[in-house]
Amino acid sequence: MVNQQLDFLLPAPEEKPQILHQAMRYSVFAGGKRLRPVLLLATAEALEKASAPFLPFACALELIHTYSLIHDDLPAMDDDDLRRGLPTCHKKFGEAQAILAGDALLTYAFNLMIMCRGKGISPDRLLWAIDEVAFGAGLKGMIVGQVADMSAENKAISLDELKYIHRHKTGALFRVSVRAGGILSGADDDQLRHLTSYAENMGLAFQITDDILDVVGDEKKLGKPVGSDEKKQKATYPALLGLEESKALAREAVEQAIRFLDPFGPGAEPLRQVATSLIDRES
């Protein structure tokens, strides 16, 4: 559903300026898991709401996520040549086009969110959800986290500092994906509190398993010891806690996340499955 909607909503590749629309589509359709839109739609299901009217909003989260990856890969940031096994956007289209494709994805995301007006969602709730997305992607989330992450490069940091980086850099967008699903579906304060705690624990589990995949992947590819990274020294959970303790922490966070869904009925099963899938994920 999300892929179809993204295809429908994004400008066609032959529309001018072609290079912009092709660069946007190249990164959006490069094989992402669609975790953030799935979280929003699954939250609506947990609250027994039809999720279809929220599809443009869910797609907006994927556009914001894609923009963040394009910009993160740029030479001024992580300087990566590959993303999901393909050349990064700037390697394929050039740096200036990649910057603009990222900018266009971020701004178009707000058009998509506004597109949900009048679809049985109160205007106040829609504005509330958009406001949370703006903060989660920006000054209370992803951008602040990215700045903290860059400042921490090649430095020894504490577990608390690592948690701060991840809570903002990646956790905030997961949190807002779930909260926006709740807000748009008319969740009450108590439901929203439970859903937020689910998202925070799920985000933590995601980040720990992401770090584990990184170091285990590096080890397999390069025969390097766990925790070493010759490009830029970045703190990771396995580097700070060791592999086994990191795995245990991830399992604990998944269990906690699922416990916070106790007040919800069988409709919350997709949210439970998202959390469980993190334990054995391979990408």
Contacts with ligand GRG, residue ranges (CB under 6 A): 32-33, 35, 68-69, 71-72, 77, 84, 142-143, 146, 169-170, 210
Task: Tell me the closest approach of the beta carbon of residue 186 to ligand GRG, in angstroms.
Answer: 27
Of residues 45 and 62, the one with the C-beta less far from ligand GRG: 62
How far is Cα 118 from Cα 154, in angstroms, rounded to an integer?
A: 49
Amino acid at 118: G
DSSP assignment of 61-104, as one string? HHHHHHHHHHHHHSTTTT--SEETTEE-HHHHH-HHHHHHHHHH
How far is Cα 262 from Cα 124, in angstroms, rounded to an integer?
A: 28
Of residues 22 and 170, the one with the C-beta less far from ligand GRG: 170
Of residues 33 and 92, the one with the C-beta less far from ligand GRG: 33
Of residues 68 and 201, the one with the C-beta less far from ligand GRG: 68
Q: Which residue has its beta carbon closest to ligand GRG?
A: 32
How far is Cα 149 from Cα 160, in angstroms, rounded to an integer?
A: 13
Task: Spell out the alpha helix ranges (H) of the chain.
Answer: 2-9, 18-28, 35-46, 55-73, 89-93, 95-114, 123-137, 142-151, 159-166, 172-184, 189-222, 237-241, 243-259, 269-277
Pull the structure tokens for residue 276.
């469980």
Task: Tell me the closest approach of the beta carbon of residue 172 to ligand GRG, in angstroms.
Answer: 9
Q: Which of 107, 77, 115 is nearest to 232 (CA)?
A: 77
Can you name the residues that pair with 82 across neighbouring β-strands?
87
Q: Helix 55-73 to helix 123-137 angle, to the nearest 10 degrees?
A: 10
Task: Tell me the closest approach of the beta carbon of residue 239 to ligand GRG, in angstroms.
Answer: 15
Task: Tell me the closest approach of the beta carbon of residue 184 to ligand GRG, in angstroms.
Answer: 21
Of residues 121 and 142, the one with the C-beta less far from ligand GRG: 142
Of residues 146 and 201, the one with the C-beta less far from ligand GRG: 146
Task: Tell me the closest approach of the beta carbon of residue 131 to ligand GRG, in angstroms.
Answer: 18
Task: Tell me the closest approach of the beta carbon of residue 71 to ligand GRG, in angstroms.
Answer: 4
